[in-house]
Amino acid sequence: MSLDAYPLVRDWLRVQDEKLRLRTGKVDLGQRISTALIRIAAQELSLAYDRIDMAPVRTSDSPDEGITSGSNSIEQTGHAQRRACATARAAAWAVAARQMDVPADDLDLVDGEIRHRGSNRTLDLFDLLRDLPADLPVDPNAPSRQVSIPDHPPRGLREMVEGQFTYVHDLDRPGMWHARIIRPPMQWARLAELDPKATARLADAGLTLVRDGSFLAVAGPDEWQVIRAAEALHRACAWEIGDGIEAGDVFGMMHNHAAQRFAIRDGKPDTDALVPPYPDAPGYEATYERPYTLHAALAPSAAMATFRNGTLEILTHSQGLYPLRDSIADSFGMVLEDVVLEHVPGSGCYGHNGADDAAFDAAIIARAIPDTPILLKYSRADEHAREPVGTAMQVRVAADTGKGGAITGWWMEARGDTHRGRPRPGPNRAGAARLASNTLRDTDVPRFVPEPNMNRHAGLHRNLDPIYRLPDRKLVKALVPDLPLRPSALRCLGAVANVLAIESTMDDLAIAAGIPPLDFRRQHLDDPRALAVLDHLEQVLPPLPQAQARGIAYAQYKNAMTRVGIAVDLNVDDQGATHLAQVTLVADAGRVVDPDGLRAQLEGGVLQGASWALFEAVTWGPEGRDCLDWDSYAVLRFDNVPRVNIRLLEPDDTPSVGAGEASPGPTVAAIANAIHAATGLRLRRMPFDADAIISAALKT
């Protein structure tokens, strides 16, 4: 936990410039972690919102909390911040009692002041906090305040709506230059020839060519001039691509390539256990498939870098500043203290998109042009062609049932490439090896070789272990490296494909047993909080219009975080197109810090899950990806956004748990189940678009 590494109150909060500055290593990607932390401090210290602010997340000053991922921010930083504030409040209270020479029980904390009820004496909380000992440790058992506070708009929302917010793309510095990358057709291509006339024209125009092996970039003070020059230089390059990228059916490749297979026990790979074989003659068997998927952030990635006096400073919207710093330092042979990264918001990515690569690319250019701030922006085609993708996955399920439809046996295997492509230190210079441009530079950085993720509910086996009561479960994780495209973390990791497989199977088994789907799930659940979610979902479901069909699903993210029960109402037209009408979602995330923020995260997950379910798939050929814009890479559009009704349950005395990735998986599964209810077709390969539905109908 974060408190173990940063045990002092001043690690988490300080009074500066008449503001309480909260410190965190988690970055705000639109998940409203800043708003939630400010709410925690306001509640614990009885401070007005305008007296609290967030310190920038910066590697030279902020706590190292790794990567902002896995829905861990409230559970980790929120817990640390709450205990630090509670400790500071208790310490300030004790000082106030001594200074006033009154019993502590005679004091109140109101509006940032400690007041003595027996007189009109007050002390400003800021003055007391400012004078707390620098070595004051956080009391992990400090009692928190259970008081209600007024809602407050999310931090920065007004500026965003009014167009005044500064994203990394908007940065402007004196003497700044712009830069663009000249992209090879594929990651492993090598520059075979560069027309010298084209490079001469760059020099004549006052532009600078940066070359390191097959890495090429153009930089100069005028952005439009740089863009045009990069386009011209792209036409002047000849590339060697060898045999190109393996094309064809990626799911067939998963069986032709060698796999590392592990038995899963208690949510983790067990290297000592035999891999369970496929069962003999199961009563039910099916295979579910998810294609490669882009992060598809609304804005392409960007970064600013400056190399001055031996120090490299990078402004980036990366989710993992410290691991990225370490990887960049290793790439250049620099000491860590000479590489400083600071988070500046960009387009939210919910996984490893192009942000880390953009930061590294900007750093390469900045080192070649010292003392000059370099603002690098990717184009839409850059982002779609080069960002890491969410790996394709194939999930096989076999099950048996007994009396009353009770599940008596369950076998499941998840196959796919790695979800661990983020740059982070590791053996064989793994951090530097994960940065895309190190495959182009003239460097001794080795090629990245993925290793299986052995953590609990991680990577391919996230949510592979069903949350249901199953007496004989056998689970297998199969890592298949060296599939065609560069994979990495995408929101939810393996949970989406695994939950789709589990919840589609639960529906099929319920139908075979003649049991309503909600009742069938309840029969296989012991957790009272899970049952409460499903019971409440049933209570709040609206009447179903005659022209629509309904699908339901249930999941608990990582089997330990937010519980989600969901129903999706939709209809499928004669052309096979699916039209979403209504989503009803009930969630239990434990103690709720920011209700509006929690609803926003769950609703955003619903929309992203719907987009994955119905539209998204990466296409490619031997020379690279084909989906370079929003026409060739389809996503959910406004004309198909459903009404979303979210209900939050908050059981007494339960800790907060992560919610950012809880809703996409069950959303995909509920849509699959609703399409089955509407058409009688069980679709098992995403996306469930019109072509897939018509093709399935023609086969029946």
What does the alpha-carbon distance between residue 42 and residue 149 come to, in Å, rounded to a whole number?
8
Identify which of 606, 604, 611, 608 has the alpha carbon closest to the alpha carbon of residue 689.
611
Q: Look at residue 534 in the predicted model and tell me its pLDDT.
A: 98
What does the alpha-carbon distance between residue 653 and residue 531 come to, in Å, rounded to a whole number?
18
Identify which of 398, 419, 611 has the alpha carbon closest to the alpha carbon of residue 501.
398
- 288 phi and psi angles, rounded to 5 deg: -115, 140
Q: How far is CA 16 from CA 20, 21, 51, in A?
A: 6, 7, 10
Q: Apex CA 668: angle with CA 663 and CA 673, to 5°? A: 125
What does the alpha-carbon distance between residue 357 and residue 698 come to, in Å, rounded to a whole number?
44
The DSSP code sequence of 619-669 is -EETTEES--STTTS----GGGPPEEEEEEE--TT------TTSSHHHHHH
- Counting as low any pLDDT under 50, the low residues of the chain are none
Q: Which two tokens stand for residue 66?
A: 């790794």
Burial, 367: exposed, middle or buried (Cβ in 10 Å; 0-12, 13-18, 19+)? middle
What does the alpha-carbon distance between residue 292 and residue 612 come to, in Å, rounded to a whole number?
10
Instruction: Please give, one letter per residue, the 3-state secondary structure of 439-452.
Output: HCCCCCCCCCCCCC
- 13 phi and psi angles, rounded to 5 deg: -155, 145
Q: Look at residue 663 in the predicted model and tell me its pLDDT.
A: 98
Q: Look at residue 18 in the predicted model and tell me its pLDDT.
A: 86
Q: Which two tokens stand for residue 495?
A: 């949970």
What does the alpha-carbon distance between residue 653 and residue 590 come to, in Å, rounded to a whole number?
8
What does the alpha-carbon distance between residue 602 and residue 467 come to, in Å, rounded to a whole number?
20
How big, in percent rounded to 5, are the helix, strand and coil portions of the chain?
A: 35, 25, 40
What does the alpha-carbon distance between residue 394 and residue 684 come to, in Å, rounded to a whole number?
10
Tell me the domains of the chain and their CATH numbers: 2-145 (3.30.365.10), 169-242+296-386 (3.30.365.10), 253-294+389-488 (3.30.365), 514-699 (3.30.365.10)
Q: Which two tokens stand for residue 94?
A: 């004790």
Q: What are 112-156's pLDDT values in tens digits?
A: 899 999 898 999 998 999 999 999 999 999 988 877 787 778 888
Q: What is the CA radius of gyration of the chain?
A: 27
Any alpha helices (H) in 240-334, and if so which ranges?
Answer: 250-256, 321-332
Q: Which residue has the tokens 């208690």?
A: 266
Q: Which residue has the tokens 């036409």?
A: 235
Identify which of 458, 394, 410, 483 has the alpha carbon closest to the alpha carbon of residue 661.
458
